[in-house]
Amino acid sequence: MEQQQMKTNAVSMMTAVNFSEMKISSNPAETLVAFSIGSGIGVTAFDPVSGFGGIFNFMLPDSTQATGVDPGKVPLMFADTGVPFFVKALFEQGAHLDRLKVVIAGGAHIMDQTGMFNIGAKNYTALKSGLAIYDLEINHEDIGGTNSRTLSLEIGNGSSCIKIFGQAEVKV
């Protein structure tokens, strides 16, 4: 009975990662999920050897552009301050950067939201610059458009899933 219960728990263990947050785990029973990503971008990174992986979910490209908040208190709100924070946290847990499989999803825009107001596109550019500093390649991406997305990472097998309402889930 107890074993059965544990098995049930193992299957259903899901941890939400809100915007401006990250979560890192090596628990093979855990799935990390960033729900309803809009113009922000969710980033999954997984090291298959150490078994550590995480999700980082940011909203804005550039901490120097945002007034009214102290980026030191919310580094994970921004691509430029969030990427180093996330990468460092993974590294400290024993993940090797050259083994990380990186998947990204989000960066959507409102219809006709072009040019300077297209924050989704700016997020994408800022994220790529941030990852390039660590020579991190993006293994798979689903970026732009007008859909909101849900991105998850199964720690047990390192699979990332991208889900758009009304469409089949994409597993990579």
10 Å Cβ neighbour count for 30?
A: 17
Q: Which is nearer to other proteins, 55 or 95 (CB)?
A: 55
Q: Tell the smallest beta-carbon distance from residue 23 to other proteins (Å).
A: 16
Q: Which is nearer to other proteins, 2 or 115 (CB)?
A: 115
Binding part of the chain for other proteins, among 9-17, 46-54, 86-94, 108-116 by CB under 8 A, reads 108-116
Q: Report residue 4 as tokens.
A: 């059965």
Among 27, 36, 125, 129, binds other proteins (CB under 8 A): 36
Q: Report residue 98 as tokens.
A: 């050259």
Q: Tell the smallest beta-carbon distance from residue 32 to other proteins (Å).
A: 16
* Dihedral over alpha carbons 116, 121, 122, 125 (to 10 degrees): -140
Separation between Cα atoms, residue 46 and residue 55, nearest integer Å = 9
* Dihedral over alpha carbons 37, 168, 45, 31 (to 10 degrees): 90
Report if residue 111 touches other proteins, rule: CB under 8 A: yes
Task: Note whether 81 and 34 are within 8 A (CB).
Answer: no
Q: Which is nearer to other proteins, 29 or 66 (CB)?
A: 66
Strands 149-154 and 21-25: unpaired
Report if residue 127 touches other proteins, rule: CB under 8 A: no
Among 110, 129, 132, 171, binds other proteins (CB under 8 A): 110
Report if residue 100 touches other proteins, rule: CB under 8 A: no
Among 37, 55, 143, 155, binds other proteins (CB under 8 A): 37
Closest residue by Cα to residue 79 from 42, 137, 135, 123: 123
Among 2, 12, 72, 166, binds other proteins (CB under 8 A): 166
Give backbone dihedrals phi and psi of 18, rounded to 5 degrees, phi first.
-75, 170
Report if residue 112 touches other proteins, rule: CB under 8 A: yes
Report if residue 15 touches other proteins, rule: CB under 8 A: no
